[in-house]
Structure 1
Amino acid sequence: MDSPIQLLENTDQATKQMLENVRKRKKKFEDTKRWHYFSVYGTLLFAFFFFAYFYFTIAEHYSYSFLAMLSAALNNTINVLLLSLTIIGFGAMNLLKQQKEKKEKEFQELRCEIVDRSKDLWKREEEWKNRHIVFEIMKKQYDINLYHEKK
């Protein structure tokens, strides 16, 4: 368990575990989001190289006939490699987008559950009065807003 969460006072162990789980889900979501952006920019980079290479090596020289251009494009291994990398990048980009959305949904559901159950998690009056300290720590340390259900 992360040390700032472990050191929280006026919070029972089950609540600390829920806070730790929401922190882990946030980290997984952020990591997947970062990989998604890498895949988007990588795909765009490969697509740029593919189109530039295609234009300068094939389209300029074989522009008189579509079939000649297609034949030259398929016979050029660098062209086929760049096209393959672009297509694979596009597939990876879509797959990572789905994973990002799934992890964001899981994170938001758990965060909203903590917001909904805050009366149950901090039952005693002294815990209830000091819960804002827990909320502030989660906001400052991990950028997790537990004050409201809305993003």
Structure 2
Amino acid sequence: MRIGELSERTGTPRRLLRYYEEQRLILPDRCTNGYRTYDERSVDRVMQIRGLLDAGLPTRIIKQILPCLDKPRAIHFADATPEMIATLEDERDRMAERIRFLTRNRDAITEYLDAVRGADRPDAAPEASTAS
């Protein structure tokens, strides 16, 4: 696929895709006419990159860990610095906190929807209100 299709499928501007290429986060093939071509795996790769950037990881660390995302059982960094390890631990902890927060919000929305749907049913008995 060409850069326009990758941009469309990932919701990532072409300029940002070119930046990922410049940072060697994605490696497109080149046609004889110089056009970039991307394989199907590039869609997942771009989504991984965006997720890691959204989590606050810098591109230099993303570049180091991307190869491990394809083979999670073969993770080994010969050049892992204490800074990199600390950064990854901090990011893991931030992600875990965000997951807890999102899970709590998802559960609250589910309870609300269940209550609303229950109230919409003509045969539903009124529920007692509980304080959280």
Bigger fraction of residues in helix: 1
TM range (shorter): 0.3 to 0.5
TM-score (norm 1): 0.31
* TM-score, scaled to structure 2: 0.35
Structure with higher RCO (Cα < 8 A, 6+ apart): 1
